[in-house]
Amino acid sequence: MEYVEPIRDIEKINAIKRILKKSSQRDLLLFVFGINTGIRVHELLFLKISDVWGGERVKEFLYLKDADREEEKAYYLNDRIQRELKNYLSQIDFKESDYLFKSKKNDQPITRQQAYRIINSAAKEVGITEKIGTHTLRKTFGYHAYRKGIAISLLMEIYHHHSSSETLRYLGIDKSEKRLVKVDVNL
C-alpha cells in the first residue's frame, strides 16, 4: 500500500466539495462522510441506507461492528453529513435495503477503485499534488480533529494505534510543530 497524505488545507477541502457537488451528490456524500467520521472506505462502501436512515429522518449515530475488536462502535453523524445525506436521499428513489453508495450500473456499491478515482480526480482538479487515495479521507479526519483539539488518545483508539507518536506519524504531523489550541468552552 502506498503512503497517502491527509488534505490539510480547508480551502482545498471546500473546493473538492464544490467539484463533487457539480458532478454527483453521491460522490459528495462519500467525501463528506469520510472526512467527518474517519470510517474506512471499505466500510463506507458497504453501508446500507437503513444504517443511516431511521424511516423518517437521518439517524444521529451510525453503529458499526469493529472488525478488529469485535465490538460495536458509534459514529456521530454531524450536521455536514446530515445535510448531505438529506440532499442525496431527496434526489433518489431508494429502498432502505439499498447500498448508500450504490453504483449507477447495478445494485452493488461502487468499488474501491471507483471511490479512488472520484477522490483522486477531484483532488487533482483543485491542484493537490501530494499522493491522494481512499485512505486520505480517514487521515484528513484525524488531522483536522487533532488540529481542533481532539485528544490524541481518542484518535489512537479510533486508529487502533499503540502510541501517540504512531498516530502523529500516521496523520503526517511533526511533533516539533508548535500548536495553538483554542480551549473555547463558551458556556
Over range 111-124, report the average pLDDT. 97
Instruction: Flag whether pLDDT at 162 surpasses 70.
Output: yes
Instruction: Say how far apart CA 101 and CA 137 lie, in whole Å.
Output: 15
| Residue 105 maps to a domain | yes
Q: What pLDDT does 62 receive?
A: 97
| Residue 57 maps to a domain | yes
| Residue 4 maps to a domain | no
Tens digit of pLDDT for each residue in 21-56?
Answer: 999 999 999 999 999 999 999 999 999 999 999 988
pLDDT band at 182 (very low <50, low <70, confident <90, very high): low
| Residue 176 maps to a domain | no
Instruction: Say how far apart CA 10 and CA 82 lie, in whole Å.
Output: 20
Domain count for the chain, please give it.
1
| Residue 186 maps to a domain | no
Q: What pLDDT does 186 receive?
A: 63
| Residue 83 maps to a domain | yes
Over range 60-74, report the average pLDDT. 85
Gyration radius of the chain's alpha carbons: 17
Q: Is residue 48 within 8 Å of residue 99, measured between CB atoms?
A: yes
Write the DSSP symbol of residue 98: S
Instruction: Say how far apart CA 153 and CA 118 lie, in whole Å.
Output: 32
Q: Under DSSP, is residue 183 helix (H, G, I), strand (E, B) or coil? A: coil
Q: Considering Cα of 102, then 105, then 111, then 117, what sign does the dihedral take?
A: negative
Q: What pLDDT does 114 receive?
A: 97
Q: What pLDDT does 55 receive?
A: 87
Domain of 108, CATH number, reads 1.10.443.10
Over range 86-102, report the average pLDDT. 96
Q: What pLDDT does 91 receive?
A: 95
Reported pTM: 0.92
| Residue 61 maps to a domain | yes
Q: How many CB atoms lie within 10 A of CB 97?
A: 9
Instruction: Flag whether pLDDT at 20 surpasses 70.
Output: yes
Q: Is residue 62 within 8 Å of residue 52, measured between CB atoms?
A: yes
User: Nearest to residue 79, comparing CAs of 113, 139, 37?
Assistant: 37
Instruction: Flag whether pLDDT at 176 surpasses 80.
Output: no
Q: Considering Cα of 162, then 167, then 169, then 175, what sign does the dihedral take?
A: negative
Instruction: Show the domain range for 73.
Output: 10-171
| Residue 80 maps to a domain | yes
Write the DSSP symbol of residue 62: E
Q: Is residue 77 within 8 Å of residue 85, measured between CB atoms?
A: yes
C-alpha cell at 22: 457539480
